[in-house]
Amino acid sequence: MLTVVAFFVALGLLVAVHEYGHYRVAVACGVKVLRFSVGFGKPIFSWRSPKSGTEFVIGLLPLGGYVRMLDEREAPVEPHERHLAFNTQPLRSRAAIVAAGPVANLLLAVVLYATVNWSGVEEPKAVLSSPVAGSVAQAAGLKGGELVRRAALDDDELTPVRSFEELRWLLTQAALDGMRVHLEVESKPGSSVRDVTLDLSALQVRDADAQLFRRIGIVAPWTSPVLGDVMPGGAAERSGLQRGDLVHRVGQTDVVDGLQLRELIRKSVLDDKDVAQTWLVERSGQMISVEVIPDVVREESGAVGRINAYVGGAPEMVEVQYGAFEGLAKGFERTWDVSALTLRMMGRMLIGEASLKNLSGPLTIADYAGRSAEMGLIQYLTYLALISVSLGVLNLLPLPVLDGGHLMYYLWEGVTGKGVSDTWMEYLQRGGVAVLALMMSVALFNDISRYLAKLLAVFA
């Protein structure tokens, strides 16, 4: 239920802001607005302004919205109101009205990101877990437990890294753009810092997913290799492991952190059969040896080991909060970065350099809406900002059925001095609808594929 509510609240807010952008600029340009609607279908609420005559409507289906303006192309206009019609406005006014919707979504994202920055959020500290074997991070000499002080892309100036999430965002940008990441790390508190370079140009990234970070080698923040809740009847309980056990060694391998311990457990399978492990654990200040035989579980990647216990403690947290001006500046910066990254990914998908699996549809959006709402207000606001950026960027694409398509028409009119002919307009509209329908179909297919994969994982 929370997922449904969070999804429709998000959709309603983003659509309302988008349409309000069109409405507000239309009124400022002297255009008469006949109807402002959030949602389609039968109205469940309507109100008419006695001053402007605009009808404000909330439709039954909250899957979009529209602003209907006085326009000679849609219906006859009285001569005394012709100056109020949209089609009679100068080119700059029409372009401003059309662009105002996507711009409103981008500005909303800035405000939401700034609100998160001002409020402050608890995030994991930028302490690195042990790198994945064979990854870029391991090749660069990282061992695990290093604190990242500063970072930069390529030849940019090093800037402070406040949290692991900030580092993760930097790595995502670098991997998708094939750039190098320079890290200034501190191996132990108070020790001298050293420079580490991660060259991500050879990764040839197609999907921005969990496997990307495994290839980079930086998957999660550092956690203590301690056991949490032990499930009844599982391999951990059968082996005599207990909650609070601190694992120092598995076989002949010294354990650095929780991530490494999870990897050692997963790899405790040989020819689809379990392999006994001797663990050296610390319990109540004493060192004891425990023989552990993990259960064998089959996943898409093959057979892996499981012990049915929570592995790894909570990461060290730090509060990330910005002042008034810095928080707003960071809001603009994040909105710009996400917009640019979205456009680059769309461009790469168009030429085949990125997988179409990166497209997400309504099911995935609704799923993330529910998850973020469960995590708290700050996470939900961050989710809203991300979707608002996506909506703004999508509507600026030069597809005839979108705002960007109309701006494309106006660009042609500005260059040639005449508008697009009705015949070409019809052809372009059909083509735009076909492209948009194809994109929506792919996104929905990806949603269903992800959902089925989750079901198979549950029942495997």
- What residues act catalytically? 19
The single residue listed with the structure tokens 């919205």 is: 65
Amino acid at 308: N
Distance CA 315, CA 313 (A): 6
- Residue 229: in which H helix or E strand, if any? strand 227-230
* DSSP structure class, residue 204: -
Contact between 120 and 319 under an 8 Å Cβ cutoff? The reply is yes
DSSP one-letter string for 88-122: GS-HHHHHHHHHHHHHHHHHHHHHHHHHHHHH-EE
How far is Cα 23 from Cα 31, in angstroms, rounded to an integer? 9
CA Rg, the chain, in Å?
27
Q: Which two tokens stand for residue 202?
A: 């050879």
Nearest alpha-carbon partner for 54 in 70, 73, 43, 39: 70
Phi, psi dihedrals of residue 355, rounded to the nearest 5°: -75, 145
What are the DSSP calls for 124-174, one per residue?
E-SBBPPPPTTSHHHHTT--S--EEEEEEETTSPPEE--SHHHHHHHHHHH
17 touches 102 (CB < 8 A)? no
